[in-house]
Amino acid sequence: KLKREKRKRAQEFDNMGEEGGGKPSNKTKKKRNKKLKKSHRDMTVEGEKGKGPSSSSSSNSSALPPHRRILAPMVGGSELAFRMLCRRYGVDLCYTPMMYSSKFAADAKYREEMFHTHPEDRPLVAHFCGNDPEVMLKACRMVEDKVDAVDLNLGCPQRIAYSGHFGSYLLGKEDHGLVMRIVSTLSRNLKIPVFCKIRLLDDLDDTIAFCKQLESSGCSLLA
């Protein structure tokens, strides 16, 4: 975006000397270059203002609010390289892509492929899906010392979530007890906060009641 803006400004300054139909004079070029340099400096300063403090500069790295800029979990998007790029431009808190708790707990190769981090990649939230409290706990314990919170996916609407019975397919009332067991199991046994990513239910009152249940079970943040 910054590069596009610079090119746009340069073209505008070029047009200043071409309004009469001829090429810009040397005097016009000098004037243009002087204004262009000032414009670039101004844009750079604005870009620096948008940057948040480095998350690694604080010894109290926390995934709990307040955070002004959050990078949400995106499958195929929020891997380490992209997280570090976004942090460079002011993101305060990042999520990993969704990871399958059952595979993560049982398969070292899957863990190696899916979970990468860096000392400056903090605060960081590990985003898991699954429907077994003990398996979820096992997976979360494997990253407990490398992240600042864990997040339970209760929002994925994809067909694979339907076939695996996770994500938004745990939002039915028949599964609310299971969801609360997952959240309470994690909350009681982990040293870090537990978050939940949800979808709105069909009824607003049901949504509010569900959120209050999650909070009572130990959820520290809902998104």
Residue 97: partners with Cβ closer than 8 Å, 6 or more residues away: 73, 74, 75, 76, 77, 78, 79, 114, 127
Helices (H) and strands (E) in the chain, counts: 9, 7
Distance CA 42, CA 44 (A): 5
Task: Give the Cβ contact number of residue 125 at 10 Å.
Answer: 25
- Closest by Cα among 153, 109, 104, 149 to 126: 149
Please pick, among 94, 140, 156, 196, the residue that the annotation labels catalytic.
156
- Contact criterion met (CB below 8 Å) for 144 and 186: no
Could you say which DSSP state residue 193 is in? Answer: -
Could you say which DSSP state residue 93 is in? Answer: E
Residues facing 154 on adjacent strands: 198
Task: Give the Cβ contact number of residue 41 at 10 Å.
Answer: 10
- Closest by Cα among 14, 24, 50 to 6: 14
Residue 156 annotated as catalytic: yes
Record the tokens describing residue 170, joined without a space: 């745990």
| Amino acid identity for residue 13 in this structure | F
Catalytic residues, which ones?
156
